[in-house]
Structure 1
Amino acid sequence: MQLTAVQWQRYMDNTCSEAERKEIYTYLNSLTAEELASLLEAGFPEQATTMPEAMALRLNKKLEQATGIILTEKRRPVLSIAFHRWIAAASILLVAGLTLYYFLPAPSGARQQQTEIASRDISNTTHHVQKITLPDGSMVWLSPQSMLRVPDNFNRATRVLTLSGQGYFEVAHDAAKPFSVQAGPVQTTVLGTHFNIEAYPAESHTAVSLTQGRVAVRARTAGGADSMVYLQPGHKLVYQNDVQQFTLQPVAVEYETSWAGGGLVFDSLDVRDVFLRLEHRFNIKIQFDPILFKGKKLTAVYPKADLSVILRNMAFVQGFNYRQQKDTILIQ
């Protein structure tokens, strides 16, 4: 097997497909110690500050002990390549039984077996949609009471986010760094596109709608296997969390974008979930009997987020009465 520079980059940055990863792993596992050493001899271009010499010598020693490869002065790769690129290069030797975490000295001097990726949470605690610009130029419209987790290493090698709530994404194109959003049980991966995700923890479903481009959505099914679905613009994947099943359905693109302007959009949404979203949006409590609304759906667009207008409309369409006591709505 002859690996190209692009394949190496994707493998080291953990952005290649599962099939490609298995192929490369099998290839690496077939190499001798000398052939593995040759891979390290090739080195990588400098892209960051080089590793401190004392640390590099310790890491070289660990490599020699774990692999039996004697890294002579002529072919010591650690001292001549950037620190984060060395970590990537050393990862190819995992097939020889190394555990990379043990190479890295903990700040306190104690060994650490696991490295956690630092991140920051962006929470929209207001009653208005917030627009966020990510480091790569991608834009996210975050619904009220929603949260976006952004790793500190975002846009270095990969672009992976975690969403709780609802967000509309306009992704900056970068073929070398796929853009992924983990939302509950569903993961959406794109290269550059516009899409909407609904993933409120208390709701019965998770949904991904595509307005432009193409996305791959991975979801765990009831049988325990992962299913991959490729969405086309104007379509939505709706995943039922309790039964671990999903359906595909057409969707009006304007529905998926109008809420980002401050309105509220419900596209065939379970009425019980509508009440939950109204609670989030207006910071109120809605008391209702779930049995009375089992199986009932609501499709509606409210350009202005006016609670009184929404409740009057819903009461007429769904056939219920309501009254308000301070910050609680009683549905009868």
Structure 2
Amino acid sequence: MDKVEKKRLIKSLLSGGLTKKQRKDFADLEPIDIEIRKQWDESGNRPVDMEIKEQIWKKVRSQCEGKKENQVPVELRWIYVAASLALLLGIAGLWKHSLNYKFSENELVKVTTQYNTLHILPDSSKVWMEPGSSIEYYKDFNKDRKVWLSGNSLFEIFKRKESPFQVHINDAFIEVKGTCFLVKQENTDLCEVTLFKGKVEFNIQSTQQTKEMFPSQKLIYNSANSQTQIESITNINWENGKYTFKDIPLNQLIEFINQKYDSDIVLKATHIQQSSFSGNIRHDEKIDEVLYKICYSLNLNKKEEGSKIIVY
């Protein structure tokens, strides 16, 4: 059975085009099971519209004649997964993630990445993870929306009035009402939270202090002495998977890039220290592409010296 036939069968299942016997035979086919699992493994965790997804799930459940609502056969759960991906994402455009999923004894899911990666949480919230970062959350996430973050990640939170969202970092946590913010942890003591949209509360557990943040603000937290500092930002924003910069000083931009890519870029020549850049950087954009864009727009050059990149 080729892939075209497998896809046709999946679509026929959802449209009600298979008889009860065909559905059973379909689920029992080993090639189908292998193909479905392969699609799930390769697809990553792309955004899926929850309303459409729920409709698909209800459709699959309706095919299980004679079964109670919560007694859906295990084999059809895989069909649901593959069918959702097939209809919403397109089977041909599968996307691989370099993620490592682990289920621990206390029912935590752990996700780690060595590349710029988009991870979608069970509630449709987005986590734009940077290299070397990891997140952990409860398997039953929709009942307890808490995430433990290590490293740097940008969050776009799906708003639910009845269910608060928390991001835990070191000995503090961020209480979220529905918003977009970036968390950077460059060492064990210092943490930066940059808020682009919405409103968050930064809670220090050791002192029971709470700091409220508003858009275009950056909070710097030192866990060694539990001190916080809030600054205003005006030249960086986030929209649709990319950072947008407006007249950002070049030295500040290079510092941002070094943090994001764990690189060692050095500005040489004093005349470019006060240059400014306007443009955007996609979350998954390679550092070579970013530097080419900057050098081209500002008429600069770059060269490599060992592990360093010299911009001049």
Q: How high is the TM-score relative to the length of structure 2?
A: 0.48
Q: TM-score, normalised by structure 1?
A: 0.46
Instruction: Mark the structure with the bigger radius of gyration.
Output: 1
